[in-house]
Amino acid sequence: MPEPGLVFDLDGTLIDSAPDIHAAVNHVFAMHSLSPLSFAQVRGFIGNGVGVLLERCLAANGLPPDGALHARLSEDFIEIYETAYTLTSLYPGVEAALTAVSSHPMAICTNKPEGSTRSVLQHFGILQRFPVIVGGDTLPQRKPDPAPLQEAIRRLDHGPVFFVGDSEVDAETARRAGVPLLLFTGGYRKAAPETLGAEVIFDDWRDFAEIVSKLRS
């Protein structure tokens, strides 16, 4: 069997970006004289892209989750979030895990905007590891629609592929695309991991290379 391709989600999978997302949301809300939200609230809203994130944040403030205000918030948020990575960190063991599986073709499939994705990967010095990046604004569709994952696989142009993610959104995306899921439990998932239909569930990135090796064999 050839070495399988690996397509990774980003937020909650490779990076813990919730602190920066929370800070950016509250910064933008302050610009528009809106009440701030707690870290737990914003963390719970992550996963479906900027538009849905801000819809949920507006709803939490008792405001309509669409319309002109949503459009202004989205524009301001994306501008701020393009370089918002000072509070973001790689999960422990990620860098070593990526080095250990560097012979495998690798891609990113995320609902984070593509520009922000490239910026944060560059910040952590791992952009070059991912010749294929499909972001939340690369296609008209976003996860859990299977189209972004299917597009990442098409661009990777490789044989068997595993999708590595952390959430219900990733699990549904993998299921709809017919791709096995490797589920990292340290991210932004709310449901019990065993309910998400993953091929493998793992808690620690230090175990990842061995997991991939076993799957290959």
Q: HSE-up of 78 (CA within 13 Å, CB side)?
A: 15
Cα torsion through 97, 217, 168, 11, rounded to 10: 20
Please give the structure tokens belonging to residue 100.
Answer: 């250990």
Degrees to nearest 5, angle at CA 43 with 188 and 79: 115
C-alpha 20/C-alpha 86 separation (Å) is 7
Q: How many residues does the chain have?
A: 217
Please give the structure tokens belonging to residue 206.
Answer: 């230090």
Catalytic residue among 9, 20, 166, 170: 9
Q: Is 166 a catalytic residue?
A: no
Q: HSE-up of 5 (CA within 13 Å, CB side)?
A: 22
DSSP 182: E
C-alpha 167/C-alpha 130 separation (Å) is 21
Please give the structure tokens belonging to residue 159.
Answer: 């044989």
Residues recognised as catalytic: 9
